[in-house]
Chains A and B, each alone.
Chain A
Amino acid sequence: MVLALLALSPFLWLLLMSFKTNAEIFRFPPRLFFEATMANYGALWTSEFRNSFANSLIVSVVSTLLSLAIGVPAAYALSRWTSRGSGTITLWILASRMAPPIAFTIPYFLVYRHLELLDTLTGLIIIYLTFNLSLVIWMMRPFYDQLPRSLEEAAWIDGATLWQGFTRIILPLSGPGLAATAILCFLFAWNDFFFALILTRTEAMTAPVAVVNFMNYEGWEWGRIAAGGTMIMLPVLIFSFVVRRYLVHGLTGGALKG
């Protein structure tokens, strides 16, 4: 309980701040009981943050779905492919994760400018897709490795096609892995600041960048920063809560071979 409180204390502090006025935030010593205000949340709703929040939701959900749609069949194929090239290909898929993101910045920026993808949701979705694909393949492949081939073979004998065997037998069995992978993909896209900072301007700006915009040159809007931070945490908390049953099993499932 104490540990949980300790771990949650930064979030609770942020949450409390989001309901305070600036004067209350800087009151010393701080008060635990104060007159709460919704003004900071109201200000978010009327500012550009609203659009940025929607942008974050769109790019995170779409890039996660696309990563899963492409990555999961790829992981299955690589798992079942017995050729020597399978290992090499799997390794190369990790290439996008082998260098720090900053190493890709200038090339991405120049290519995006040329393709007119700067400040577009499509541009961000493509970036997150490229980074998340390797994560999906590397997380899902061990799942499929541990599923006995006899399950699919039984389905094939019963007349199922390869695709039917995958979608009706294998995919339902990898639910926990899918949930864990999906949440990690979503988190990567949702929390990304760096690529959103470099590759967007105003139209496709995401919520983490929008929060930084409350740091004005002549003064920071602490209440709005706290309210924005809380709003950014909210979908992740809800999503994690919904899939928590699968999460632990999913994260550890592929680690053991039985």
Chain B
Amino acid sequence: MRGPNRRAILRSAGGASVLASGLLAAPPILAQTKSAFAGTTINASCFQTTYFEYLKAYLPEFEQKTGIKVNFTMQAFPVYNQRTDLELSTRGSALDVCNVTFIYSGRWIGAGWLTSLDSFTKDPKLTPADWAPEDFAGGPQSAMQNAKGETFGFTWEAGAMILAAARYDLIEKQGLGLPRTFDELIKVCDAVHNKDNVAAFTADKLHHWNWIPYLMGVGGNVFKAPPENLTPTLDTPEAAQSAEWYANLLTKYGPDGILSYSDDQSMRSQMSGRANIRTQAITWMVPLAKHAESTVQKTVRYGLMPEGPKGNFPGSNSHGLGIPAGSRKKEAAWEFIKWALSKETVSMIVKNHGYPSVCRLSVINGPEFKQVLTLNGQDVASLFLEVLQLGGKTGYMKYRTVPVYPQVGDKINKAMERVATRQQAAPAAFKQAQTEALQDLQKAGIKVDL
């Protein structure tokens, strides 16, 4: 029998050394990931937002690392929701990663249109322990889970409702401070309205987001006990009283045209110094201090949402990334989510771009986030965290993630418009809203107490 000749030995030794040098050059896990997904293309989609505008700049880094090519598209908020709702409802495979929009999360998760991510996070081969799913703040993350506690998305944005006074100097001049209760809010509005041609209060027409914290503050709610009991409670005395109060706040202290304001118009009314106080998610409040076009950078101050006699219920919401049930490239999609929402990536977006609404606790508690959200000497990061914790503790935001909320919310908006324009008294308007909401719920096959 002939043994191996010299040429064969040299060839195999050379091959082995090339292989060894390759393995030594790249970390083993990365090499494995890259080879597993090389040549894979995934389609990801979200609505237009700065987080993903910033993230897109780092996509080549991810593509180089994993070999996965990402077609990332962004559309306007309503356009994205409309298209994705249709795509998910028909179990399409056009998307591998999608944004799980807060108001649709209950509908999309409840209908089984998204993939449970637990199988990915619980498999150490797919998710290293230091990725830490528990690092995502509980309040925002609860919108991404079903009743059994399964997770269908990880959050990239948390909206926490706070109060911002664009012209705090006017409030100070009257010897007052930021309002901490509903009564104080009226008192401050009375004192500063139309001083220096600035309206005391502003809001947008999305009443089903803006008004509900005020409704809850006086003991009202939208549903009896969401998500279990979705019987609407819009015809209660608390709802009528609160609606009357809120409509008065808008019409008496708001700028002209406030009832038709979009969220952007409302933000612009503060930025241009036409309106003073607003209660809204932090995303729309930070530009008052940071946007180049803001005329109130030096005078804006931030505080917690005012408290009602029954407590403080600032709105909080969240948007996450999930994998559609119809996706055929789920593991590659998970690689993308893991990277997009890793501690390192989130931290980098905060550090390099000053993004203010992240959900990873380790980042929120870090010095960079504190620095980004120290506005006019105020520690707004703490306010942000406080609101997120409030929302997570009692789960009072559950009303907003039920599948039928878009329809019920529409009835609330219309009822509030009727009250504010004096077309109907608050009890009648909200009784009508209750009847219409009940019809919608019954049409959707939801059991209600009658």
Using CB atoms and an 8 Å cutoff, list the residues of chain A in contact with chain B: 22-23, 26-28, 105-106, 109-110, 113, 118, 197-198, 201-202, 209, 212-220, 222
Contact = CB atoms under 8 A, between A and B. Distances in A.
Nearest to A193: B79
Contacts of B287: 218-219
Contact of A213 (B50, B76, B271): B76
Contacts of B50: 216, 218
B83 interface: yes
Given A22-B293, A28-B274, A216 B86 contact: no
B293 A213 contact: no
15 contacts: A26-B269, A106-B86, A113-B90, A198-B82, A201-B94, A212-B76, A213-B79, A215-B48, A217-B48, A218-B49, A218-B50, A218-B283, A218-B287, A219-B287, A220-B262
Contacts of A214: 76
B360 interface: no
B105 to A, nearest CB: 16
Given A23-B293, A118-B94, A198 B272 contact: no
Given A28-B274, A214-B76, 10 more contacts: A23-B293, A26-B272, A105-B86, A106-B86, A197-B83, A212-B76, A215-B264, A216-B50, A217-B283, A220-B262
Nearest to B48: A216
**Most chain A CB neighbours (cut-off 10 Å) among B49, B82, B86, B262:** B86
Interface of B: 47-50, 73-79, 82-83, 86, 90, 92, 94, 262, 264, 267-269, 271-272, 274, 283-284, 287, 293
Contacts of B74: 213
B140 to A, nearest CB: 16
A89 B74 CA distance: 44
A105 B48 CA distance: 24
A27 to B, nearest CB: 7
Contacts of A197: 79, 82-83
Contact of A217 (B49, B90, B92): B49
Nearest to A118: B94
**Most chain B CB neighbours (cut-off 10 Å) among A118, A202, A213:** A213
**Most chain B CB neighbours (cut-off 10 Å) among A27, A118, A219:** A219
Contacts of A201: 73, 83, 94
A28 B78 CA distance: 29
Contacts of B262: 220
B7 to A, nearest CB: 53
Contact of B264 (A106, A212, A219): A219
A219 B267 contact: yes
A217 B47 contact: yes
Contacts of B267: 219
Nearest to A216: B48
A216 B73 contact: no
A106 B77 CA distance: 21
B281 to A, nearest CB: 10
Contact of B268 (A26, A106, A202): A26
Nearest to B45: A201
A209 B79 contact: yes
Contacts of B90: 106, 109-110, 113
B268 A198 contact: no
Nearest to A21: B293
A186 B49 CA distance: 34
Contacts of B264: 215, 219-220, 222
A218 B283 CA distance: 7
Nearest to B295: A23
A113 B272 contact: no
B86 A109 contact: yes
B86 A198 contact: yes
A186 B74 CA distance: 28
Nearest to B157: A217
Contacts of B83: 197-198, 201
A106 B86 CA distance: 8
Nearest to B268: A26
B82 A217 contact: no
A222 B49 CA distance: 16
A27 B197 CA distance: 13
A197 B208 CA distance: 26
A220 B204 CA distance: 14
A59 B429 CA distance: 46
Contact of A28 (B76, B94, B272): B272
Contacts of A110: 90
A137 to B, nearest CB: 31
Nearest to A212: B76
Contacts of A218: 49-50, 283-284, 287
